[in-house]
Structure 1
């Protein structure tokens, strides 16, 4: 279901919502650089079936309303351009607006993929809106690894990700030993996205099981 959110600076953005409105556990699901597209709605609905209330904010609305991309090379370039036009401080305002739209009293988590993986890290370190955070293949996390999380964090990376070298992953591990970090041999960037050529079903299932277990521990 589509809805509209209001950020602290007055910006209004759309969001995809799913799951029971009276849920005791709730998630902000953060998009890749392709907008709130079919894959992100699929992810949101999957968590909703697990009993979570989910809000997936359209972060691209700051640059272009309704942007919804595929996975072709030209989509990647367009997504990177849209992401580059948005101030990270504004993105933080938008995920906090999404958190505020979750059920009152629910334990709140955040999970993000690709760009959203980095945004989820910022949600953990730059906000106190969440009780748990998970990031999948967030390329900007290594650069922000000295930031201290305000909640438990779990991270997932593909060992064959050409954009995130294992040296970055090891740097995160060294800087943040309190963070759960999982790597997946042979997995590439986007391994959990069923619409990408890099999709790895076995790794996606294992990462999802770990994610659900993490939320089960920290959002109860």
Structure 2
């Protein structure tokens, strides 16, 4: 564990895992509401083994330092109670501090699970220095469409999640076409966690492969050129035309 200092001066701990060789980038792992427990450390270690500097901040330290909870009913209840006591501004500050601590390794991705999945989505538009954000089964996302995403965002949901109805996921997709949303048949919340009874290996593997591809694209490489008249290609053509027009004046970029 390492100790980090947020912008307002308060300190919190974080679990850091270094890659075996020079890092290809960095990943900030956001915990479930159960602390940086063995599962979150295992996830962080796995990202490091793939060549990334990986850091998981302890986002409950301000309420209960060093908390590590399991997945039984009593632990889940305690975790939910701790989350209710957390100051949201503090959490965003701690996420920003962790990103700043990781960015020396290259571009930074934010990956969150459960409560952390919600935080990854929320923080993606409110912190600086991110290449992309990825959230797993974050409650509260699909019922609040929010503003257009400022960075590439990928979300994973289980279609049997009792807290996140499939109908709401469909409505979210319609309202937020700028977000890549995948749902997994037969899976519930926690399908990625092999310490949970809701673990589903097939869904976890499919989501991991998409997550890895997303990180490779936005952390390691450049976004691909899309087909003509669509996506990145079309934007490149528009940008080229804009540059020609802007060459005649010095008014700066057009305001939205």
> TM-score range with shorter-chain normalisation?
over 0.9
Deviations 1:50-108 (A, max 9, x none): 10100100000011101110001111110001000012221111111110111426101
CA shift, 1:22, in A, is 4.4
* Number of corresponding residues: 219
The structure that has the greater radius of gyration is 2
Instruction: Give the Cα–Cα distance (whole angstroms) in 2 for the partners of residues 167 and 88 of structure 1.
Output: 28
Segments of 4+ moved more than 6 angstroms: none
Confirm whether residue 212 of structure 1 aligns to residue 212 of structure 2.
Answer: yes
Conserved? CA contact 2:96–2:128, under 8 Å: no
User: In the alignment, which residue of structure 1 is the partner of 2:102?
Assistant: 102
SS state of the match for residue 82, structure 1?
helix
Cα RMSD for the two superposed structures:
1.3
Aligned to 2:240: none
SS of the counterpart of 2:33? coil
Residue 60 of structure 1: aligned partner: 60
Q: Is structure 2 residue 2 aligned with structure 1 residue 3?
A: yes
Q: Is the 8 A contact 1:23 1:103 kept in 2?
A: no
Partner of 1:29: 29
Q: Which runs of 5+ in 1 are unaligned?
A: none
Structure 1 residue 182: deviation in Å? 0.3
Task: Tell me what 1:116 maps to.
Answer: 116
Name the residue aligned to 1:146. 146
Task: Output one character per residue of 1:2-52: Cα deviation in whole Å (capped at 9) or x when no partner.
Answer: 101111111100000002384131010000011100000000001011101
Per-residue CA deviations over 1:161-207 (Å, capped at 9, x if unaligned) read 01111122123212210111000000011000010000001110110
Give the SS at the match of 1:54: strand
Contact 1:108–1:131 (CA under 8 A) maintained in structure 2: yes
Residue range with higher mean Cα deviation, 140-149 or 171-180: 140-149
Q: State the match for 2:70 in structure 1.
A: 70
Q: Which residue does 2:14 correspond to in 1?
A: 15
**Is the 1:24–1:105 contact (alpha carbons within 8 Å) kept by the matching residues of 2?**
yes
The structural deviation recorded for 1:115 is 0.1
- More strand by percentage: 1
Q: Is the 8 A contact 2:53 2:105 kept in 1?
A: no
Q: Which moved more, 1:120-129 or 1:197-206?
A: 120-129
Give 1:128 deviation, angstroms: 2.4
The question of whether the paired residues in 2 share the 8 Å contact of 1:34 and 1:70 is answered with yes
Which protein has greater RCO, CA pairs closer than 8 Å, 6+ apart? 1
Q: Is the 8 A contact 2:103 2:129 kept in 1?
A: no
Structure 2, unmatched stretches of 5+, are 221-256
